[in-house]
Chains A and B, each alone.
Chain A
Amino acid sequence: MKTIPFLFVAASLALAQPAHASKGNAEAGKAKSTACAACHGEDGVSKIPSFPKLAGQHRDYLYHALKDYQSGKRKNPIMSEQVKNLSDADLADLAAWFSSQKGLSVKY
């Protein structure tokens, strides 16, 4: 059942220009975010001060951070383990999901 939307996303991505991160799908991201919720909170507002709140963060920043954890450009033993087996589509979907939640804001 989950395979169909995933294949749709994968096909769309395959046909899209790979120049920049795809927008991702928030609903798909929500389904993939169970592991994330353990530390970052179900609503993206983490209860643990050393784990950042993700809710409402910029989508492309979240995607960029996840990619950096994967490549090792950003070093964090917990996060690199978490993203090890995620696909590009997964990262885009997760970023879309957390960015769609209410929380963080631009503060001057």
Chain B
Amino acid sequence: MSLSIDKARRLIAGALNIDSAEVADDASMFSLDAWDSLGHMNVVLGIEAELGRSLTAEEIITIEFVQDVENLIADGSQKSFDH
């Protein structure tokens, strides 16, 4: 299990106030009952806190799966090394 996907799972679990064991690697807004509209907002806020910046609208619209959160976190971390 990669560190970044584990981080994404924990971020989502925290945003939805559930145990990270309930968030599978392939979980999504379509599979997790706890992922509702307010939960979605909290996932967005969680990613923004992790990255230290606001997400763009183009980034927000992509968030559906754990993989999408992982990609945003990984890309954001990578960008911090690209200075």
Q: Are A and B subunits of one complex?
A: no
Chain A residues in contact with chain B, CB under 8 A? none
Chain B residues in contact with chain A, CB under 8 A? none
